[in-house]
Chain A
Amino acid sequence: MKYILLLTGTKAEFDWYTKWSKEDLQAQGAFMQAFHEELKDSGVLVAAEGLAFPDQARVVRAGRDGEPIVTKGVIRGVKDGAPFVTDGVFPESKEFLAGYTIIDVESAEQAYKIAARMSAAPGPGGIPGNMPIEVRQVMSGAPEELP
């Protein structure tokens, strides 16, 4: 069964992250690299990517003739073929995806264990960050088997 582990954060959390010390950033980077290397070696890694910061996030909708209408912020709807934006920028509470890891494991429990290790990636001062990791099953053709 495949699961996706989603690491998300608000704009404020991304801003806080940019203020970490060089050592703390390096420690976290090294942890994530070693962690994913281990997932690969144990034959469970399907894919993993980190995403660019939310400053670059754009929302795209198709215009009247299918042309891309690119905005920064939350689009509330489309009127006369043009989107209208109420917030102008993304709301503070919006969660952005920072990165994802897809694994292929035997059970949900095994996915939770791996997510917990990712959650414990070191934060500032090397203290485990205890980041929330959203775990979702990836839809498949095959149903799970019961014991």
Chain B
Amino acid sequence: MDVSIERLLRELTPQALGTVVRRFRDFAAAEDAVQEAALAAAMQWPREGIPDNPRAWLTQVAFRRMADHIRSESARRRRESEVALEAAYTSELTTIETAPQEDDTLVLLFMCCHPALTPASAIALTLRAVGGLTTAEIAHAFLVPEATMAQRISRAKQSIKNSGIPFQPPTTEERAQRLRAVLHVLYLIFNEGYTSSAGPDLRRGDLSHEAMRLTRILRNLRPDDTEVAGLLALMLLTDARRLARTSAEGELIPLAKQDRALWDKRQIAEGVALISATLPKGSVGPYQLQAAIAAVHDEAARAEDTDWPQILALYDLLRRMSDNPMVRLNHAIAAAMVHGAAKGLELLDALSADARLADHYRLDAVRAHLLELAGDRESAIRSYRAAAGKTGNLPERNYLLAQAARLSSELRLMNEQE
């Protein structure tokens, strides 16, 4: 398919879907109808040209499919109420307002990221309904069979139906909480793509770009929300380091050792401008703080130029805002960079009591790093190996084992010289 038509369809499909769901209130059927309409467009538009108002075209075709759907449903059930409903829909078809309400895409996002859904369901549904990805593409990105992903999406739709979640903007009280759920799902999609883009399977990295695209759409819909801006800035500033993050062999390269010439300057400039314009607005949240930390890293020309006191101050704020053990781990690293490894190790000891971290490889990985900074190679080797045994992440395990091996050979050399 023509790339411009494909892009146009992906932009318009969620808008058309929002309009159809708003009108017919049956999410599952509306999704099928819009997919069929998009398929029809993909066949016709390259041949006959893009219609003057492509969104209205899509919506009209989807409306007609919905009417067909309702007609066949009601014929099957032969229920009077359904027939009456059908009459109501078909008579309106010619006059119906197909222009989208401003918030349809946003309401669709709220629906797909509803807190009643598990994260995996919300992610799949968002990519399908708002992102316009095919089930096969989503299945490929998450490395599961297409049939499994199809089931996951269909169950997610079913849960929405069963829970009676209405297609309407959340109330003012609900809005902040629901928006947080949307941001969390977009963050998870980004992370899934970013953390797994090492190695030959670059297609999973597309998930990060899809998350950024959706976050940009959300930002256009909610330009004044500081956390939406914060999340977009965080994604831009993190993704900017993608090329430097792994070697040609797929090996992980930590921030301090990355070739900063490979960082995407344009993306860093955009992220820095965005977070700098957002922070002074006053309503500071966790995504903005994480973006600010990423910006401090990205602005250092060399690793040794990093403004660690500022990063420590930002982690201090972040730590007060959320009880996330990962934040406390990163806070310990920043403290070590400012006050010395001993201070960081002391903070880690306090963290070991946290049940969420006790068996987590990253606690050992950070300890290994700080022990190495402190000059205790033997203990560092033990911690690197302990971390390697606990991680479920292949590039990470290879990295940790390589660190242990490097320290072992250093020790051997030192012993030989003595």
The chain A residues found within 8 Å of chain B, CB to CB, are 1-2, 40-47, 104, 106, 137-147
CB-based contact B393/A141 at 8 Å:
yes
Find chain B residues with CB under 8 A from A145 CB. 188, 191
Interface of A is mostly: loop
- For B360, the closest partner residue in chain A by CB is A146
Q: Choose one: A46, A142, A146; the contact of B144 (CB below 8 Å).
A: A46
Minimum distance in angstroms from A107 CB to a CB of chain B: 10
Contacts of B196 in A (CB 8 A): 140-142
Q: Are A1 and B392 in contact (CB under 8 A)?
A: yes
* A141 with B148: CB separation less than 8 A: no
Name the contact of B152 in the complex, choosing from A43, A139, A144 (C-beta under 8 A): A43
- Asked if A43 contacts B155 (CB within 8 A), the reply is yes
Which chain A residues lie closer than 8 Å to B199 at the CB level? 141
Q: Of B145, B197, B324, B395, which is within 8 A of A46 by CB?
A: B145
In the complex the two chains form, is A146's CB within 8 Å of B357's CB? yes
Q: Is the CB of A40 within 8 A of B392?
A: no
Known: A40-B148, A106-B119. A143 touches B188 (CB 8 A): no
State in angstroms the CA–CA spacing of A145 and B327 once bound together.
Answer: 12
Q: Are A143 and B148 in contact (CB under 8 A)?
A: no
Given contacts A139-B394, A140-B394, 10 further A-B contacts (CB under 8 A): A42-B151, A43-B149, A104-B142, A139-B392, A140-B196, A142-B192, A143-B362, A143-B391, A143-B392, A146-B357
List A contacts of B325 (CB < 8 A).
146
Give complex CA distance A139, B401 in Å. 15
Q: What residue of chain A has the Cβ atom nearest to residue B207's Cβ?
A: A142
Tell me the bound Cα distance from A142 to B391 in angstroms: 10
Given contacts A106-B120, A141-B195, A141-B199, contact A43 B151 (CB under 8 A): yes
Identify the B interface with A (CB < 8 A): 118-121, 142-145, 147-149, 151-155, 188, 191-192, 195-199, 201, 204, 324-326, 356-357, 360, 362, 391-397
Interface centre among B151, B191, B204, B360 (most CB of A within 10 A): B151
Q: How far is the CA of A81 from the CA of B393 in the complex (A)?
A: 36
Closest to A102 in B: B144
Indicate if the CB atoms of B394 and A106 lie closer than 8 Å.
no
Contacts of B394 in A (CB 8 A): 139-141
Verify B393–A146 contact, CB threshold 8 A: no
- Assuming A104-B144, A106-B120, A145-B191, is B393 touching A139 (CB within 8 A)? yes
CA distance A142 to B204 in the complex (A): 10
Contacting residue for A141 out of B145, B204, B360, CB 8 A: B204
In whole angstroms, how far apart are the Cα atoms of A147 and B188 in the complex?
A: 12
Contact of A141 with B191 in the complex, beta carbons under 8 Å: no
Identity of the chain A residue whose Cβ is nearest the Cβ of B394 in the assembled complex: A139
The residue on A at minimum CB distance from B354 is: A146
CB-nearest residue of chain B to A39: B148
- Alpha-carbon separation in the docked complex, A28 to B276 (Å): 63
With contact pairs A40-B148, A42-B151, A43-B148 given, residues A147 and B356 touching in the complex (Cβ less than 8 Å): yes
Q: Which of A106, A137, A147 contacts B392 (CB 8 A)?
A: A137
- Give the complex CA separation of A104 and B124 in angstroms: 13
Chain B residues near A2 (CB-CB < 8 A): 143
Cross-chain pairs A/B with CB under 8 angstroms, 27 sampled: A40-B148, A40-B151, A41-B151, A43-B149, A43-B151, A44-B148, A104-B144, A104-B148, A106-B119, A106-B120, A139-B392, A140-B196, A140-B393, A141-B201, A141-B394, A142-B191, A142-B192, A142-B196, A142-B393, A143-B362, A143-B392, A143-B396, A144-B392, A145-B188, A146-B356, A146-B357, A146-B360
